[in-house]
Structure 1
């Protein structure tokens, strides 16, 4: 392959040199214009010669394989994106609950369960709290975050 490219470049350089040399030796006038046109066509033919000799019938792109790989990669990326979004929503919701708990004077830790909603968008669906139980915090999570009380699990500590 490299040898073919090397010989092609040498042919193009030689043709360009010969066209340039002939242009400089021919006197001004109509003959020089015709020679310049012919030289340009010759140079063009030398440059596209590898394409003229190519056998495109045996060229096989395997489109189906590439399409399958692209589809698989898109699925992988979508899964990663969905997982990252779920993790981000869980983190932000946990921080939001902890801020509210601190404002209420409740000392606890929180783990939020995120599930896909009706439209596929991840939403907070449950919460597991360790620490003192607070009905005010439970009501807040139900009303403001949409986490029903039956999906709120408390592990009370001493």
Structure 2
């Protein structure tokens, strides 16, 4: 593409130089006026030459290929964006739950799994690892259910000793 543009600009420059040389060598009078008209037409032809030589089929083919590549790239970008959004939501949700647990005096690790079925991924399950008393677990279950609408059935608690 750049090579074609370079050739086009060189052609225009050469035509302009030839027209200027011819105009300088032409004697004044009617012949000079005819020479200026002819020189202007030569410059116009050199400028419009790529348009005249344009192959509509090749242009259509190139535009179609470009459109297909753009569509594939757009789909890939959407998929990557969705995965990134899901990861961010999982991390931020886990950090929020961890902060709420710390406020209640619970030392634990939290993992959140999000489901991306809608437009935005939504936290779906929570896994809490740590040693919790019954009261702490109930309080954390209520907090998670109230803040994330994740029912107790999708909240999993594992003791800190790996059992």
TM-score, normalised on structure 2?
A: 0.74
Correspondence 1:91 to 2:94: no
- How far apart, CA to CA, are the structure 2 residues paired with 1:29 and 1:51? 34
Aligned to 1:126, the other structure's residue is in SS state: strand
- How far apart, CA to CA, are the structure 2 residues paired with 1:68 and 1:22? 49
In structure 1, list runs of 5 or more residues that go unmatched.
none
Aligned to 1:113, the other structure's residue is in SS state: strand
- Aligned CA-pair RMSD: 3.1
Question: Per-residue deviation at 1:45?
Answer: 2.3
- How far apart, CA to CA, are the structure 1 residues paired with 2:119 and 2:150? 17
Correspondence 1:137 to 2:140: yes
Matched residue, 2:159: 156
- How far apart, CA to CA, are the structure 1 residues paired with 2:54 and 2:147? 68
Mark the CA change 1:67 to 1:102 in structure 2 (over 3 Å): closer, same or farther: same
Matched residue, 2:107: 107
1:88-130 deviation per Cα after TM superposition (whole angstroms, max 9, x unaligned): 000000000111111110010000010135x432111110010
- How far apart, CA to CA, are the structure 1 residues paired with 2:55 and 2:22? 35
Tell which deviates more after alignment, 12-21 or 130-139. 12-21
In structure 2, list runs of 5 or more residues that go unmatched.
none
Mark the CA change 1:104 to 1:37 in structure 2 (over 3 Å): closer, same or farther: same
Q: How does 1:115-126 map to 2 (within 5 A)?
A: 115-116=115-116, 119-126=118-125
Question: Per-residue deviation at 1:136?
Answer: 0.8
- How far apart, CA to CA, are the structure 2 residues paired with 1:124 and 1:19? 73
Aligned to 1:129, the other structure's residue is in SS state: strand
- How far apart, CA to CA, are the structure 1 residues paired with 2:68 and 2:13? 43
